[in-house]
Amino acid sequence: MATYGQLQSLVEKIIIDLPTTVSAEVGALINAAQRELQRRHDFKVCEAVSSVFETVTETELLGSVPSDWHKWRGYPINIDVNGGVSDLGIANSRQDAEREWGSIQGGEHTIETMIGPPKILFIGEPTSEAGAASFYVRYIPDEESEYDDGNYRIQVPYWKFLTALSADGDTNWFTVNGEYAIAYLAAAEGFALDWDEERAAIWAQKAAIKVKEVIDLDKRLRFAQIDTLVPNPDAHGARVYTRR
């Protein structure tokens, strides 16, 4: 287990010959290493779910993509008035959605001809150079849900990026369970910045071992309590085993 401050000290000790230009980047290298771990494997700690979005009648815009978004995690869900859920589909782009459901930008399609219960979600074009974007829904929602207001409730499971470390005392799952993976990845990049390619390669190799260890740990934590394979003819059905 290590704090952000302790990780910085460890990386500095590994590199030893630490010019000011490299020393100033140690914190950023640690956060880059943490993000790299999350790109390589979907860790349990990175599971997230959006707030519940409520559709607006005849409006395809659903809501903003969370700022910590990494990627889709399974299917979006439509939550009915009794709390039941059903899966919605995902389109890779607006173009894919429009090929299937039509465009309201011209031709014979109008909102009136394209409304109905939501079937799929897609992420629209970025609205800023920082990558902010929004979810959109097709069909364009009608007002026929069983809720009193007729709107639909939609929630999006997703993989998130953890918040970057900033204060010296900051900790998270990775600093507790994968401190050496983070430190070695950061050190390898630090050596590269210092034009020491040989040591960069050595520490990248050491980092690969630690990265595998922390990924294996996450897998064991997920499945440690599962000892029974539950057959189910429904591909999206429950996988819960209850002892009698």
Q: What is the pLDDT of residue 60?
A: 93
- How far is the C-alpha of 159 from the C-alpha of 43, rounded, in Å? 9
Asked whether the predicted pLDDT for residue 232 surpasses 80, the reply is: no
Q: What pLDDT, on a 0 to 100 scale, did the predictor assign at position 119? A: 95
Task: For residue 103, name the pLDDT band (cuts at 50, 70, 90).
Answer: confident
10 Cβ contact list (under 8 Å, min separation 6): 2, 179, 183
Question: What's the predicted TM-score (pTM) here?
Answer: 0.86
What is the longest distance spanned by two Cα atoms in the chain? 68
Are the C-beta atoms of residues 74 and 157 closer than 8 Å to each other? yes
- pLDDT score at 242: 45
Please give the average per-residue pLDDT across 85-97, as a whole number: 94
Instruction: Identify which of 1, 8, 14, 9 has the alpha carbon closest to the alpha carbon of residue 207.
Output: 14
DSSP 17: S
Residue pLDDT, tens place only, 38-75:
999 999 999 999 999 999 998 999 999 999 999 999 99
Mean pLDDT of 6-24: 92
Confidence of residue 114 (pLDDT cuts 50, 70, 90): confident
